[in-house]
Structure 1
Amino acid sequence: MSKTIIAVNQLKKDFFVGEITVHALKGVDLKIQEGEFVAILGTSGSGKSTMLNILGCLDKPTGGTYILDDVSMGELSKNELANLRNNKLGFVFQSYNLLPRTTALENVELPLFYNPGVKSRERRERAIAALESVGLADRMHHMPNQMSGGQQQRVAIARSLVNDPVVILADEATGNLDTRTSYEIMALLQDLNEQGKTIVFVTHETDIARFTTRNVVFRDGHIIREEPVNNRLLAREMLHALPIEED
């Protein structure tokens, strides 16, 4: 029986805008099992980004509980949360969030600088292995401005993997990419999921969500629908079906 990696119960989040209270999450219950590839869907204002920020320990809920890998987040100090975030979570963002004057290799090494148990040689070896795993062995000494958007997103994925997290959290990770590059990134994420990685993928694109194994749909701070993905799309097959681009 698979392990529950994420469990949230009656999760609430309120924001205060002047005298107005905005209820972004209104008592959400959700469980994610180890090895799942879950898409969190919803339009702008549905609560999906707020949910991701709480899952990523970037924000705290107003009410309810969040348990990550058997640890209750509500009982941790700010420093403990930062340490857990660095060791158990990997992040992939729409805008890549790479340091511009830093090579791909140095960008991937960055999370390991916050881990005092990892020496410089191991840090370099793990970063190289992560870049190799995303097909960028020949780009590790390039700066972000020397790489395409798809290559930069692969660097971001390598960076998310370098600490061997229990969950990868992706926020609109294909939002800035064209169709072919989006499929390439989804193929990579599907490969990682096949290798056992648990992935939570926030998107507003229903076609991209068909590459995942389960869809969770948010509206007005509630989950309105959860369902397994039937007839799941395979990104590599979709790539092969695209017309060949002319130079």
Structure 2
Amino acid sequence: MPLQPRSSPPEDIRRAGAAARVRTGKRRPSLGLAIDVTEEGYALGPPHDDQDGWEAMLCDLFGTGSVVTATYHLGQLAQMCRTELHEQTGQNVPSHAELLAALNMVAGFRPRNEAQCAVAVGAVAMHLMMMRLATDTLSTMQIRHPDAALSAKLGRTVAMQVQTLSGLQGKTSQQRIIVKQERHDHRHQHIHIEGGSAKINDQPHGPSSLPIDTANGTRCDAVGQPSGCAALSGKGSKRKAVSVTGDKG
């Protein structure tokens, strides 16, 4: 059934598509792959006649100079993928699209040696397992707690492997802590009372003697109360004056 006709994209989408094509052209070309059915099963090889160039690209993808090592990892990835029926023979062969996706994921890690290649292939294996478990679970809409917990553990394992590979490639982020020393000078000022008067920086403040109540000739304390015994008598009062003793205790 033919697809329905589509309208032309807007101008901003057209410009975004042109920019995306420029960025895609700068990426490393993907490794092509052909799956040929043989008497023993199937064979993986180049989709063209440049066998040597394809093997060189395969070794570069896995970060090794050995064709045997690169072919071994390619076979491991093929066994991890789902199977599909070959169009001509009807035999079960690895999914062509899934195997190419797995190869591109390994290429995205850019392993530089066999050790980094092993970590990259392991991360892809955990990813395929997690996605297959999630697909089977979500397609039936019967989410079980063990399956969900296992999927979460696989996701954390993939993240740990990616972090490990980044450490092997020297891409780990370093935390930088800057410690600054701040100095605070505190100055304490002491007030010395000399000769009954308070002095601050050799400047007298306040009288040295207590004020005198001019009404009755008595001295008052700091709060204006008569000190000692003071006669309390109102004007025109006929009562006898009463002496009040100040509280000095």
TM-score normalised over the length of structure 1: 0.27
Q: Which has the higher strand share?
A: 1
- Which protein, 1 or 2, shows the higher relative CO under an 8 Å CA cutoff with sep ≥ 6? 1
Q: Which has the higher helix share?
A: 2
Greater Rg over alpha carbons, structure: 2
